[in-house]
């Protein structure tokens, strides 16, 4: 064969391989080695549904009016953090109206208290049902915002463990942000920017979170 022909065939083979990868990616079926999946390092996870349900009840009210996938993700976060990490969490904030957001914004500014947000009404993913905040629970039932808390004695910061778990469930985690680090915050935007949302665009209710294979296994699906 002429050199040009061989080169042509090699190019064709690469082209087919790339096309295959593209199709696999669009179907969400990439071989796992090609996906940047965080390894949660959970070997066995004996599920304690009674304990999980008891925790879910504490957060039920806060989970109302969220996007179905955000709500499902929050519930799974509560369940898996309990059974897999022995960390109890409670949802402190979910959907917030724009008025509630404005009130929160005034805290530490026109009102007393510490500044807890840089977002005015309509400027937060909470106002669109796409975000929630959580807090760590202590065995005595109290809460802690100690950012070094290691209640389960794993040698790892509990907030980081929950952060990793939430990301594997398909959330963006505020603990990764550099401009305004928001460790208790998770959001799921389905590619929607605040500008999109302000213009009235909304992610379809039917959209499902992009979870890792490890999570699907832990949830037994
Ligand atoms: Zn938040």
Domains held by the chain: number: 2
Residues 30 and 86 grouped into a single domain: no
**Which region holds residue 96: left if phi is over 0, alpha if psi is between -120 and 50, else beta?**
beta
Q: How far apart are CA 115 and CA 190, in angstroms?
A: 28
Please name the residues in contact with 215: beta carbons below 8 A apart, sequence gap of 6 or more.
Answer: 76, 80, 168, 169
* Residue 77 resides in a domain: yes
State the average pLDDT over residues 130-145: 96
Residues 21 and 103 grouped into a single domain: no
Ligand 1 centroid–CA 187 distance in Å is 8
Residues 2 and 55 grouped into a single domain: no
Q: pLDDT band for position 6 (50/70/90)?
A: confident
Residues 94 and 200 grouped into a single domain: yes
> Domain containing 5: what range?
1-35
Residues 200 and 150 grouped into a single domain: yes
What pLDDT sits at residue 27?
A: 57
Residues 102 and 168 grouped into a single domain: yes
Ligand 1 centroid–CA 93 distance in Å is 7
Domain CATH code at residue 89:
3.30.1380.10
Asked if the model's pLDDT at residue 68 lies above 60, the reply is yes
What pLDDT sits at residue 4?
A: 78
Ligand 1 centroid–CA 179 distance in Å is 14
What pLDDT sits at residue 204?
A: 97
Ligand 1 centroid–CA 92 distance in Å is 9
Asked if the model's pLDDT at residue 49 lies above 90, the reply is yes
Residues 196 and 171 grouped into a single domain: yes
Ligand 1 centroid–CA 134 distance in Å is 8
Asked if the model's pLDDT at residue 32 lies above 60, the reply is no
**Between residues 199 and 20, which one has the greater pLDDT?**
199
Ligand 1 centroid–CA 79 distance in Å is 20
pLDDT in tens, 153-182: 999 999 999 999 999 999 999 999 998 899
Residues 100 and 15 grouped into a single domain: no
Ligand 1 centroid–CA 126 distance in Å is 6
Ligand 1 centroid–CA 142 distance in Å is 20
Q: pLDDT band for position 16 (50/70/90)?
A: confident
* Residue 73 resides in a domain: yes
Residues within 5 A (CB) of ion ligand 1:
133, 185
Ligand 1 centroid–CA 43 distance in Å is 30
Residues 15 and 54 grouped into a single domain: no
* Residue 27 resides in a domain: yes
Asked if the model's pLDDT at residue 22 lies above 90, the reply is no
Residues 117 and 172 grouped into a single domain: yes
């Amino acid at each position: 064969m002429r050199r040009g022909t061989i080169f042509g065939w090699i190019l064709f083979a690469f082209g087919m391989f790339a096309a295959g990868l593209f199709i696999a990616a669009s179907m969400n079926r990439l071989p796992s080695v090609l996906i940047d999946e965080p390894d949660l390092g959970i070997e066995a996870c004996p599920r304690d549904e009674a304990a999980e349900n008891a925790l879910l009840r504490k957060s039920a009210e806060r989970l109302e009016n969220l996007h179905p996938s955000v709500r499902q993700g929050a519930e799974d976060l509560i369940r898996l953090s309990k059974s897999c990490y022995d960390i109890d969490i409670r949802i402190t904030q979910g959907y917030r109206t724009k008025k509630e957001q404005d009130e929160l914004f005034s805290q530490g500014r026109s009102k007393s208290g510490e500044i807890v947000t840089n977002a005015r009404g309509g400027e937060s993913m909470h106002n669109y049902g796409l975000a929630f905040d959580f807090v760590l629970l202590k065995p005595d039932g109290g809460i802690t915002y100690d950012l070094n808390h290691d209640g389960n004695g794993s040698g790892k910061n509990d907030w980081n463990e929950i952060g990793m778990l939430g990301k594997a469930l398909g959330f963006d985690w505020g603990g990764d942000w550099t401009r305004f680090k928001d460790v208790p915050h998770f959001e799921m935007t389905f590619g929607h920017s605040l500008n999109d949302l302000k213009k009235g665009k909304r992610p379809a209710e039917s959209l499902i979170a992009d979870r890792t294979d490890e999570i699907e296994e832990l949830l037994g699906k």
